[in-house]
Amino acid sequence: MPDTIVILDFGSQYTQLIARRVREQRVYSEILPHDAPRAEIERLKPRGIILSGGPSSVYDDGAPALSDFLLDLDVPLLGICYGMQLLAHRLGGRVEKSSTREYGHATVHIDYAASLFSNLPSPISVWMSHGDQITALPRDFVALAHSDTCPFAAMANPTRQIYALQFHPEVAHTPQGIDILRHFLFDVCGCAADWTPAAFISSTLDEIRTRVGEARVLCALSGGVDSTVVATLVGRAIGERLVCVFVDHGLLRDGEARAVVNLFQNRLGLEIVAVDAQARFIDKLQGVIDPEEKRKIIGAEFIRVFEETAHSIASAAPFRFLAQGTLYPDVIESRGVGKAAARIKTHHNVGGLPEDLQFELIEPLRWLFKDEVRAVGLELGLPEESVYRQPFPGPGLAVRILGEVTRERLAILRAADAIVREEIERGGLAREVWQYFAILTPLKTVGVMGDERTYEHVVAVRAVASADGMTADWARLPHDLLARIGSRIVNKVHGVNRVVYDITSKPPGTIEWE
């Protein structure tokens, strides 16, 4: 097992960003709820523990508390923002409401340049976000830094290996934040930078072989990078006992079904069974408008198709396992990792699975972010066009049609989406833009075409820049490119007379509209 840093989530909007920043240093990190039991933390054998920030005050009723055993684990601790206040409060310091709330950029002066601040200039620019602050340090702690309005912007007890920051080192607005985290990871915790794609592949293949034994595995295949990497990993681990099942649910983009079958049969050499279930899924979605219900219907129907397919192709040895490409963001958004984390939306392969699932799940990528999956794919030698295929939701176009999914509306969206993808790729922006697609809205507007009044659909275009899908900013596409997209859609797609561009970032929006 690689050296691990455990991140305890106290409800911060930046908790997942802390995990990413740690992993960028090739150190494995895992997020657990703030009240995770001792056995769960010890199972990971952490080299260090980071306490995230959070929106609470240590004096609030029901505020997340610091588990007593954390101070007895004999591993370094790093508290960030609320995490710092918890440590101070628990260890006898004083935390009070600040007369001046600090939110945004601040200048911090370093008072003690050793440990976390080694070789850093003073002052440094940081990102603050707090209403409470520490006004008296716990016994045997020293001040590491201060700002004009915060007397203790950082503190430490080097003997007990407890460190804390009132600001957020994980955000881009703290330019030296990565240096501070590196000092904690390598100088304080003594971590090795051994979280690499090659190491992940080696350990994952061993885990799959151990768990599967001589059993057979079905792989839920979409053709995206996630399921392609999963299929390749499982195939290398168990060989011919893997069968990939590709379900054409009728909700794919133009030409996608043919491309997926060709990739797996002719380029990757994996056994694939293609199932045409278009009519079945579209019938199930008839009259359904609520996006959560759509996702759950599609997720449950996927599993039923897999079960029926497994039964039809099973020989003397039935399929025991189902492999699928669940990622860490899927888990976070569907369930959250702690009691303070809200469910954003159900992902079809997490919250949409039926309770009476007939398979045991294998999810080798469950703890990876998208860019980490791509790095693993390249290490596996997969074609670049597969590795860098833009993310596509499991429920497909069903969650890009607002309202009821019908064959007519699918045809409109497919045609519009094909134009969006073609123009962005032709413009050489496919690698720069994380995701780009069309959405069919439930709106109709008045227009004029050929000197006649029209009353037709509105199509929205969505393009975002992101590293991992957890946060995203709307892509600043060139105006002439947007003009070509809008003109082609209105002129070529029957039933559309207006195109709009979405300029919402994530947060507050999500990448998909549903």
What is the C-alpha separation between 19 and 290, in angstroms, rounded?
33
Residue of 123, 135, 31 whose CA lies nearest to 93? 135
**Residue 102 annotated to the active site:** no
Rounded (to 5) percent helix, strand, coil in the chain: 35, 25, 40
The gap from C-alpha 395 to its chain's centroid, in whole angstroms, comes to 17
Q: Is 189 a known active-site residue?
A: no
Cis peptide before 138 (omega within 30 of 0): no
DSSP letters, 206-241, are HHHHHHHTT-EEEEEE-SSHHHHHHHHHHHHHHGGG
CB atoms within 10 A of CB 488: 18
Please confirm, yes or no, whether 191 is among the known catalytic residues: no
Out of 89, 130, 150, 170, which one is annotated catalytic? Answer: 170
The DSSP bridge pattern shows strands 272-276 and 242-248 to be parallel
**CA–CA gap between residue 482 and residue 83 (Å, rounded):** 45
Which is the catalytic residue, given 34, 168, 348, 457?
A: 168
What type of residue is 513? Answer: W
Measured distance CA(365)–CA(376) in Å, rounded: 10
d(CA 320, CA 387) in angstroms, rounded, equals: 28
| CA 66 – CA 75 distance, rounded (Å) | 15
* Integer Cα distance of 31 and 129 in angstroms: 21
CB-side exposure of 319: number of CA atoms within 13 Å? 28
- Which residues are 469's β-sheet partners? none
Alpha-carbon gap, residue 84 to 102, rounded angstroms: 15
H or E element: which one contains 102?
strand 94-110
193-220 as b/e: b if 16+ CB within 10 A: eebebeebbeebbeebeeebeeebbbbb
Residues marked active site are found at 81, 168, 170
